[in-house]
Structure 1
Amino acid sequence: MPTTSPPRARGRALRRAAAPAFALTALVLPAVLSGCAAFGDDRSGVVVTTNILGDLTRAVVGDEAEVTVLMPPNADPHSFGVSARQAARMEQAELLVYNGLGLEEGVLRNVEAAEEAGASGLEVGEAVDPIEYTEGETAGRPDPHFWTDPVRAAEAVDAIADAVVAQVDGADEDRVRANAERYRGQVEELHEEAAERFAALPGERRRLVTNHHVFGYLAQRYDFEVVGAVVPSGSTLASPSSSDLKSLADAVRDADVPAVFADSSRPDRLARVMADEAGLEIEVVPLFSESLTAEDGEAPTYLEMTRHNTGAIADALAR
């Protein structure tokens, strides 16, 4: 089960609203905590919005608290929504962990309602030194896709541990810290592996075209150039115009890019239309950039997702 993210001295990273919690006894989900405070009428457990953050949180929390993850496998974080029961569970959490920076467009109002009801909220994106989009309709806005950079994902692990220790009654600090240290080591290994794979690519092959602006953090960390995106936005809810597709096709042709990367949870039709528009033989390579898969999929954990994407990008651009 997934969980949280730690506090840093940035923006809204971690806060507890002053308003008292609403009495939602009839709606609170029953649960059993291991080594934690009992449920009853008090706040309990950790609720996480996205499944990627849920996986990081689960690794840190272990058996120290109940973790509820709202976003199902293979979903789109920009558009998924929650039920009334899930919204009530958010308001009764000891700690609400969310990505923030505009990612969870469909549950933002529920996050705000939970914080107003008194739940402690951790906006992880604010805690890991976010960057801004540099082009498209979202230029100048914060980019929420920090997890494509394993270095920032490791920072998120630390933030999660801090938040759990501070906010979750009964969680054993030594166990939480040990879990975080162990998992952070695994994430740092991911970074070293990615740096080695990408270092083998010549400069003219370090160019990315994606279905929307999702790999800005990866590009910054590993010295890639983002040629453009089929959807010139940081959200999958936006749509490109015919002139957008033509402009990108021209850029792809000029840059001689061998592949376009499309998220596996979204149709790649637009990417193929753009490739046809360019009049070139361009491979459309699926990546797991926005969501984990179910257990029987290729990316059921953050570690597996990142390794898969690293290999797919390196292999496609090396051709």
Structure 2
Amino acid sequence: MPATPARRGAVLAGSAPIALLMALLIALLTAACGSPADGAASASTAGAAAKTLTVVATTTQVADFARQIGGDRAKVTQILKPNIDPHDYEPSPADIQAVADADVVVKNGVGLERWLDAVISSSGFSGTVVDTSRGVSVRKGDGSKEEAAGDPHIWHNPLNAKIMSTGIEKAYAAADPADASYFAANLAAYGTKLDALDADIARKIGALPAERRKLVTNHDAFGYYVDRYHLTFVGSIIPSFDTSAELSGRQISELVAKIKATGVTAIFSESSLPPKTAEAIGREAGVKVEAGEDSLYGDTLGPKGSAGATYLQMEEHNTDTIVTALQGE
């Protein structure tokens, strides 16, 4: 007996759940038959992409370099905060724990972090320590025991910053070979920016009349900058690389006389140091004093959002501040 239209509709309606079930079974079987190697490769790729080096960097400058080279493959803990003097820093228990957990520790070197060896020893750290001063031509120290290794302010020459960044890149590649090409690409890109910075500073300083390229700073932190860009260093208010030293009354009088005799047009304080002595000397010598939060960044980068928040910004800002003041504008 032929099926009536009503019966045909009932049969079709009854078969719909069966068809749907068959479709689901086919889909599940297809997924189950996928290549195990493909799944393993996907998991492996995901694992590789998720790998992140744990890095501790001491100073604000080397922490910036460490982030530039590491990108999203390095989590960088910065020990020294902006506007904190690196010469006499006292490490905290949190610093020791951070070092204990690190894969790589990055330091400036040249004796700047006199406290770091004790931190590493206390933490039991057994990873790689990157001394970014390796390969840098270090200036002589001031003769003191603290500066026996030389002038530690190596970052104030962008070409030294390239050497420092290269040391970081090598350590990252050794610690994480799978991402070596990523770190190398970051180094190349950052090196291009450092070369451009160097050329820009040379152009701006070179545009100053030779008789105006004379520098008096709050402390002797800019020797590498002075050497690189052919400035004349007249003197510093703090007669040392170490910011804890002080001028005597006689030394202050001698510096004032030297400023007047050499025709210095400005004195430069630093954002991280009290400007009181610089301002007193400036008044006595009759010259302008660049002081305050937007003066020179010497031993430390500035906080986020400031004119010296990154190394590139810091050196550009320092140069613009120096050139504007020495031009007498």
Same fold (TM over 0.5): yes
Q: CA deviation at 1:107?
A: 4.3
Q: 1:169 to 1:136 in 2, by over 3 A?
A: closer
Partner of 1:127: helix, strand, or coil? coil
Closer/same/farther in 2, CA of residues 209 and 33 from structure 1, 3 Å limit: farther
The question of whether the paired residues in 2 share the 8 Å contact of 1:92 and 1:119 is answered with: no
Show the 5 A alignment for 1:159-238.
159-166=167-174, 168-169=175-176, 172-238=179-245
1:60 corresponds, among 58, 69, 75, to 69
2:319 paired with 1:310: yes
Conserved 8 A contact 1:33-1:66: no
Query: 2:218–2:270: 8 Å Cα contact kept in structure 1?
Result: yes
Q: Which residue of 2 aligns with 1:251?
A: 258
Alpha-carbon distance in structure 1 between the residues aligned to 2:201 and 2:320: 8
Q: 1:94 to 1:276 in 2, by over 3 A?
A: same
Structure 2: distance between partners of 1:255 and 1:264: 25
**In 2, Cα distance between equivalents of 1:171 and 1:254:** 60
- Segment of structure 1 superposing worse, 173-182 or 94-103: 94-103
Residue 86 (structure 1) aligned with residue 101 (structure 2): no
1:262/1:268 contact within 8 Å kept: yes
C-alpha deviation, 1:295, in angstroms: 1.7
Greater Cα shift, 239-248 or 206-215: 239-248
- Whole-Å Cα distance in 2 between the matches of residues 226 and 33 of structure 1? 51
Deviation at 1:229, TM superposition (A): 0.6
Q: How far apart are 1:205 and its partner, in Å?
A: 1.1
| CA–CA separation in structure 2 for the residues paired with 1:47 and 1:118 | 13
Instruction: State the one-letter code of the partner of 2:159.
Output: V
Shift of 1:112: 5.4
Match of 2:139 among 131, 145, 150: 131
Is the CA contact (8 Å cut-off) linking 2:301 and 2:310 kept in structure 1? yes
Which residue does 2:106 correspond to in 1?
97
Rounded Cα–Cα distance in structure 2 between residues aligned with 1:49 and 1:83: 13
Quote the residue 1:17 is aligned against. Answer: none
Match of 2:87, SS state, is: coil
**Alpha-carbon offset, residue 79 of structure 1:** 2.9
Stretch deviating more after TM superposition (212-221 or 73-82) = 73-82
Cα distance between partner residues in 2 of 1:282 and 1:310: 17
Structure with the largest fraction of helix: 2
1:273 Cα deviation after fit: 2.0
2:60 counterpart (15, 34, 51):
51
Post-superposition shift, 1:85? Answer: 2.3
Aligned partners of 1:35 and 1:170 also within 8 Å:
no
Is the CA contact 1:136–1:232 (under 8 Å) kept in the aligned structure 2?
no
Matches within 5 A, 1:16-35: 35=50
Distance (whole Å) between structure 2 residues aligned to residue 138 and residue 73 of structure 1: 23
Look up the SS of the partner of 2:237 in the other structure.
strand
What is the distance in 1 between the residues matched to 2:149 and 2:214?
22
Give the match for residue 292 of structure 1: 301
Instruction: Return 5+ residue gaps in structure 2 as ranges.
Output: 1-46
Q: 1:251 to 1:218 in 2, by over 3 A?
A: same
Give RMSD over aligned pairs.
2.4
Structure 1: gaps (5+ residues): 1-31, 38-43
Output the amino acid matched with 2:109.
Answer: G
Stretch of structure 1 that moved more, 223-232 or 75-84: 75-84
Do the aligned partners of 2:105 and 2:129 also contact (CA within 8 Å) in 1?
A: yes
- Output one character per residue of 1:264-308: Cα deviation in whole Å (capped at 9) or x when no partner: 011111111222343x23333421122122222221111111110
When normalised by structure 1's length, the TM-score is 0.80
Task: Determine which structure has greater relative contact order: mean sequence separation of CA pairs < 8 Å that are 6+ residues apart, divided by chain length.
Answer: 1
Correspondence for 1:158: 166
Aligned counterpart, 2:156 = 148
Alpha-carbon distance change, 314 to 133 in structure 1, aligned in 2, over 3 angstroms: farther
Alpha-carbon distance between aligned partners in 2 of 1:140 and 1:86, rounded to the nearest angstrom: 26
Distance 1:226 1:51, change over 3 A: same
Q: Residue type matched to 1:70 in 2?
A: I
Q: Secondary structure at the match of 2:50?
A: coil
Cα offset, 1:202, TM superposition: 1.7
* Correspondence for 2:279: 272
In structure 2, what is the Cα distance between the partners aligned to 1:171 and 1:239? 51
Question: 1:151/1:92 Cα in 2 relative to 1: closer, same or farther (>3 Å)?
Answer: same
Shift of 1:311: 0.5
